[in-house]
Structure 1
Amino acid sequence: MQPPNLPPNLKDPRLTLFAFHLLHDITQKPQDGAKGADRLWKQVAGLGDILEVNLLKHLPGLLKSAERQIADPSIYQELFHPNPFLPFYSHSSSERPKLTGEVYPVQIHDTYGLDLTLHYSDISQPIACDRLSELNPKGCLLPQFIQAELGQTLLLFAQPEAIPDDPATLADRCVAALLQNTDYILVQDSTNRAKNSVGRVAGGQLFKGPIFEYQTINAESTNPSNNCHILVWFNYHPQTATKAGQAYRDLLQLLCYRAKICHQAYQSQFFVDCAREEYIKLEQKINFFDQLLIPTNKQLENLKKLINELPVLAFKLSYYRRNIEDCRTTIAANAKNFDARLADIRKLTLPPDNLDFWENFRKLECKNYLKQIDVNLQYLEGGQKLFDQAIATIRGIAELEQTERDRNIDRNIAIFGFGIGAAGVVASGSASYAGVIQEISPVNNYVSFWQLNDAQAHLVVTINFSLLAGAVASLITAGVIATFKNSKFTHSSPKLPP
């Protein structure tokens, strides 16, 4: 029996990194990889320097041809053939013992998946649980280094040398060792919201082996690519390892669907925040719209400017709303896939296995994600209607203002037209009345004062009386138009009851 003051020993501890990265999105063809789709492989290549494994350094090159040879991206694809698991060995040093591992890259629908497993080369010697940081040197398997777009899960699978009285306490100690000398800290109190706090959030039993779930619990963990998600699974029963091998592919896909659900929930909230910013801009425009109702010289120009700006905001709001709806569809689809894989794992379970923590993720967290998205969509629907109503109202006011201006222009043209016409008639008939007008005393005095001859006097009389006739005709025309307009408005207006 192990002395109580020594750290518990583990037999053949294996640390597996499951990381997931989007291959392409809905706007791209399946054969076209998304920008940065190979980032996961490049990050794993960086592990080659830390772990001193040359094979990992060349992983992007090994996979480059595989990316172009995907026959059907809609199914589960192993990227290495004929042996899908590629073994590797690290060099031992004074700081780290020799490690052995395997890398297993796959494609699951539109997602790249990675299984990178590390364990000690000498599996005959038990390892103190406090030494588990040797499997995660410099925190190289944590999210801050891997940066998988959809997130990741670290799975520690180990057999305790002696069955502990409290496996949860042993699991805590293992996680604390894995996080040693990293930016993450293990906290026992789930209310501790310090930055990069990791806490135990659930526990259960799988294939007669206790399994515990840990994840980042601080408020900054909304982005799944930064979320530290860890599973600690103890090998208690002779069938645990056998059943784990049989359920391996289902487990890998289960974690993939979980990562995609969390990522889409995060994406939907991101789009909601973007839509809220556009909604705030709309409200500012509407507040400015009240000022535009006050008649000014630039009222029409400001209305037209607002008409040009609002459709852009409305388009952005529709774009974000569509993306949120796509997130909802993706979450619902992956929740069904999660259910299917969980059902396959349940077929292999051994009494008294307990997978409630995964069942709760499906029934509670996924349901909450979908419910929150529905609430956000209802909120944005009201905003979209407000956009449409504002655009229609402003366009109507602008059209009325433009029509009124056009009418004013037509009225002025008519007034000046009648004036010019009257002046022309007077000018053309000046020969018959110019002499008579010139005999009028004021006119005669004016001609004598300026010492005008007959031709000059005739010209002056013609011009002045043409202008006078044009002005009178214009005034009469304006009065007739105004009278007709008022009469038309009076007859067309509804009469209110007394």
Structure 2
Amino acid sequence: MDSEKDIITPTVYAPNLHLFAFHLWRGLTGESDSLASNRHQLWQKADEILQGLGFTERLHIPGYPNNSEEPPGAQINLHPQNKLELTGKLPNSDLTITGLLFAHRLYDSYSLTVNLRRPEQENQQKTAEVPISFWRNLNTERLIFLPSFVDSSLGQTLLLTAFLPDSHCNKTAEDLQDLARSCLKQVIPSRKIELPALCKMGELWGSPLFEFGGQVLDKNMEEEAEVTPHILIYLFRNKFSSAKFEGAYLQFINLFYYRNKVISAYLKTRNLHRKTYAIYTKLEKKVRSFKKELIENTTCLALTEVQLEQLKMVLKELAALDLEYARLLRNYKHCQNTISINTKNYQVTLEDIVKILPQHKERVNPEDLDFFREFGTQTSGYFQSRISDELNYFVEGSNLSDKAIASIRGIVEIEQTQRDRRLEQQNETLEDQIQAVGVGIATGAIIASTSPLIFQQEKISFPWEASHGDRLHPFMLALLLSLGSAVVAWWVAKGLIGWGRKRRLRQKQESKN
């Protein structure tokens, strides 16, 4: 622990520690395969906290430690007795401490609430003030109430409450800053963990309230974003403020739940922004490379086989990047919707607090909750505005990828069509050559088959001779008949081939239409 000691250790009356931790239970669908793999981690941490403080009680609720079925519903108190009551001793002290533990299921999440306190009365007598080191002993050497130990997936809020000594009751919030920071140091040893900054101070129902941390730190594009510990310190001036807080305790559980859902979703967008930007950069490089390739090949009549294969590889890479890019954008938009929905729920819960307290005979005005209302109007509003701007920027990257993929596919299809036409022309030329060769072979065969007639005893006479014979020589007659038959056969074969080619072309066009 921090070895620094104040000359005069401040004291407070009836100090309380409230842990509000939230952990994801399931995904979007709610099906069994969408349940979080470590959904019972929060309950395990609750048992570790009880064990670390020397309590013999353990958490026994539906689904934990046995895999029994949980009751249905959107907002469910999972504890059979609604709450687990605790009584014990402060570690390393004889001081009695009491407490309550709540286990809720809120929509898609689990909620753990631990309240440990020094009682206001013992044996019907008011207890004495205790040093603020009470919180240090309660947190133990393991710092069991900090995010590093609880490690809840949706974050947590730690609230310290206590009654101010009579000598401090008339001091303003500005005058009590040093006391609030001293209380903060009791749960966060400065030598182990950096103290979160004071983000806001004000008053809630007439008593000073200080907010430390709870900010998303997005350092750069290379490291994971993180959230500083969120710690509230509420110092009561009177019983009136304490009673109002107790009267709306369950509403405050919901309020901190919605707040942490918003912060958790925004934290995810910071990491999604880094990943999406990296994919966007790769897409831009691929598109530029493709554009350069097009410019260099404007004078070429046709793409080579190597160039065509390169284009196909670029197409596959772009398609894979575009698919991953679309997945990241989908998650981005889901986080945006989560922030929007939970911001509205946060604001509704504030109104519920205003409505519920008069039922407890505690008068409250809406402006009393302005300390918390700022998160729903300004902080969350900034989150949503920033995400919208980033999504508008990244959507252009998706359009760029779609156009590049469409262009490459068009080029490949055109090139393939041209290759098919060239191949068809080559085939036609080859067919013509085969036909010519066939004619030559047939002619040679005809001559070869009729050549023996040349040696007939009859003299060969020709029409232009004055003394030609009365009839043609057998060789001439056979040759003329063979050539005539060949011409007729060639003409018929040519007609049939042309008709068949036109018929196939017509069928191909009809299938395309």
Give the structure-1-normalised TM-score. 0.76
Do structure 1's residue 51 and structure 2's residue 53 form an aligned pair? yes
Deviation at 1:132, TM superposition (A): 2.3
Shift of 1:417: 1.6
Instruction: Give distance in 2, aligned partners of 1:386 and 1:18.
Output: 45
Q: Distance in 2 between matches of 1:94 and 1:409?
A: 91
Aligned to 1:110: 108
Alignment match, 2:310: 302
Structural mapping, 1:55-74, within 5 Å: 55-56=57-58, 63-64=64-65, 68-72=69-73, 74=74
User: Which residue of 1 is the match for residue 30 of structure 2?
Assistant: 28
Matched, 1:361 2:364: no
* Superposition map of 1:286-435 within 5 A: 286-290=287-291, 292-293=293-294, 294=297, 295-347=303-355, 348=357, 350=364, 354-431=368-445
Q: Deviations over 1:45-104 (max 9, x none)?
A: 222342222324x557873469722221x2x211112x2120234456647855432211
1:176 pairs with 2:185: yes
Count of aligned pairs between the two proteins = 419
Unaligned runs of 5+ in 2: 1-5, 122-126, 298-302, 358-362, 452-513
- The alignment status of 1:133 with 2:136, answered yes or no, reads yes
Is the CA contact (8 Å cut-off) linking 1:21 and 1:148 kept in structure 2?
yes
CA distance 1:126–1:169, change in 2 (3 Å): same
Give the AA of the match of 2:377: K
Indicate how the Cα distance of structure 1 residues 94 and 435 shifts in structure 2: closer, same or farther if over 3 A, else same. Answer: closer
Q: State the distance in 2 between where 1:352 and 1:254 align.
A: 15
Structure 2 equivalent of residue 278 of structure 1: 279
Distance 2:450 2:32 in 1: 97
Q: Is contact 1:257–1:338 with CA below 8 Å preserved after alignment?
A: yes
- The reply on whether 1:149 has 2:148 as its aligned counterpart is no
Are the aligned partners of 2:14 and 2:119 in contact in 1 as well (CA < 8 Å)?
no
Does the Cα contact within 8 Å between 2:208 and 2:235 map onto a contact in 1?
yes
**Over aligned residue pairs, what C-alpha RMSD do you find?**
3.0
Listed one character per residue, the Cα deviations across residues 436-475 of structure 1 (whole Å, up to 9, x for unaligned) are 99xxxxxxxxxxxxxxxxxxxxxxxxxxxxxxxxxxxxxx
Does 303-312 or 384-393 show the bigger shift? 303-312
Quick check: 2:91–2:140 contact (8 Å CA) kept in 1? no
Tell me by how many angstroms 1:205 deviates.
Answer: 1.7
Unaligned 5+ residue runs, structure 1?
187-197, 438-498
Q: Give, in whole Å, the separation in 2 of the partners of 1:224 and 1:113.
A: 24
Q: SS of the residue aligned with 1:303?
A: helix
For the Cα contact (< 8 Å) 2:63–2:69, is it kept in 1? no
Aligned match of 2:79: 80
C-alpha separation in 1, matches of 2:365 and 2:29: 46
After superposition, the Cα gap between the structure-2 partners of 1:27 and 1:410, relative to the gap in structure 1 and judged at 3 Å, is: same
Provide, for residues 238-279 of structure 1, a one-character-per-residue CA deviation record: whole Å limited to 9, x for no partner: 222221121111111111100001111112232232222222
CA distance in structure 1 between the partners assigned to 2:116 and 2:22 by the alignment: 18
Distance 1:91 1:238 in 2: 25
Inter-partner Cα distance in structure 2 for 1:122 and 1:338: 31
Partners of 1:261 and 1:334 within 8 A in 2: yes
Structure 2 Cα separation of the partners of residues 159 and 337 of structure 1: 31
- Relative distance call for 1:112 and 1:383 in structure 2 (3 A) is same
Kindly provide the amino acid, as one letter, of the partner of residue 370 in structure 1: Q
Match status 1:16 vs 2:15:
no
1:185 maps to 2:194: yes
Asked if the contact 2:207–2:234 (Cα under 8 Å) also holds between the matched residues in 1, the reply is yes
- Provide the residue aligned with 1:444 in structure 2: none
- TM-superposed deviation, 1:371: 0.5
Are the equivalent residues in 2 in contact too, given 1:152–1:229 (CA < 8 A)? Answer: yes
1:110-166, Cα deviation, whole Å (9 max, x unpaired): 221111112246861311123420121121100000011111011111012224232
Letter in 2 for 1:127: V
Q: Is the 1:52–1:90 contact (alpha carbons within 8 Å) kept by the matching residues of 2?
A: yes
How far apart in 2 are the matches of 1:220 and 1:155?
A: 25
Q: What secondary structure does 2:57 align onto?
A: helix
Paired residue type of 1:178: V
The letter for the 2-side match of 1:260 is K
What secondary structure is seen at the aligned counterpart in 2 of 1:54?
Answer: coil
Match of 1:279, SS state, is: helix
Q: Secondary structure at the match of 1:355?
A: helix
Kindly provide the amino acid, as one letter, of the partner of residue 152 in structure 2.
A
What is the match of residue 263 of structure 1? 264
Q: Give how far 1:185 is off.
A: 3.5
The DSSP-based 3-state class of the residue aligned with 1:27 is coil
Q: Is the 8 A contact 1:14 1:117 kept in 2?
A: yes
Partners of 2:140 and 2:62 lie apart in 1 by 25
The corresponding residue for 2:3 is: none
Whole-angstrom CA distance in 2 between matches of 1:224 and 1:23: 23
- How far, CA to CA, are the matches of 1:430 and 1:232 in structure 2? 112
Residue number in structure 2 paired with 1:229:
230
DSSP 3-state at the match of 1:55: coil
CA distance in 1 between counterparts of 2:437 and 2:33 reads 79
Range moving further from structure 2, 245-254 or 61-70? 61-70
- The verdict on how the C-alpha distance between 1:97 and 1:250 changes in structure 2, with shifts beyond 3 A counting, is same
Distance 1:67 1:359, change over 3 A: farther
Is the CA contact 2:87–2:98 (under 8 Å) kept in the aligned structure 1? Answer: yes
Paired residue type of 2:114: L
Distance 1:41 1:228 in 2: 20
Other-structure match for 1:441: none
Change (3 A) 1:28 1:223: farther
2:371 is paired with a residue whose SS is: helix
**C-alpha distance in 2 between matches for 1:223 and 1:147:** 16
Alpha-carbon distance change, 287 to 89 in structure 1, aligned in 2, over 3 angstroms: same
Letter in 1 for 2:166: A
The 8 Å contact of residues 23 and 42 in structure 2, kept in 1 or not, is answered as yes
